[in-house]
Amino acid sequence: MVDIGAALGIRGPSLYKHVASKQELLAEIMTETMTTLISRQRAAVDAGGPPGVQLRRAVEAHVRYHATHREHALVGNREIESLEEPTRARVVELRSTYEHGLRAIIEQGCAAGVFSTVHPQLVSYALLDMGIGLASWYRADGEYDVDTMAYVYANLAAQMVGAPLA
């Protein structure tokens, strides 16, 4: 709370005028992160197109979020055990919804004969982990910009499912 207050130019304890507790703040960060990710993933799918295009857009959205909201992503992945019930269960459910959304794209591509992986669930886990990991090392002022990262990760996703590169 002291660090957050300092970043906002106020004393840490003053934050309690805006949030009831650290738990409430953590819950808000984690819930917002997951609902935003789900919304962006759904937009990628709802835009239509073949499974390869949907996968590319979903992976690009995942990468872009984790590169541009690094702190939220890191908190969301490191602090899940710190959440109290019933919020923890809700965030776990949201995470499951997000993974299932990605897996559904992969399974549809397999059913259509455009993806060749026999492990859609493992591929979805790997793709999610790749984006999550990016949040720990990516820097906007580093060697690669967000667009390059999104493009490269989408190509890696295509390779992982056995699809042609776009």
What is the C-alpha separation between 107 and 122, in angstroms, rounded?
Answer: 12
Does a structural domain hold residue 10?
Answer: no
Read off the CATH number of the domain in which 139 is found.
1.10.357.10
3 located within any domain: no
Structural domain contains residue 148: yes
Domain that holds residue 65: 22-161
pLDDT, mean of each 10-residue run, the chain (166 residues): 59 60 85 96 96 97 97 88 94 97 98 96 96 94 96 96 81
pLDDT of residue 164: 74
The answer to the question of residue 15 being in a domain is no
Selection from 32, 3, 33 nearest residue 15 by Cα:
3
Question: Residue 25: its pLDDT value, please?
Answer: 82
Query: Is residue 74 in some structural domain?
Result: yes
Confidence at residue 76, expressed as pLDDT on a 0 to 100 scale: 85
CA distances from 163 to 2, 22, 51, 117 (A): 48, 44, 10, 9
Neighbours of 76 (CB within 10 A): 24
The answer to whether 65 touches 8, Cβ cutoff 8 Å, is: no
- What pLDDT sits at residue 31? 95
Number of domains in the chain: 1
Entry field: residues in the chain = 166
- pTM attached to this predicted model: 0.86
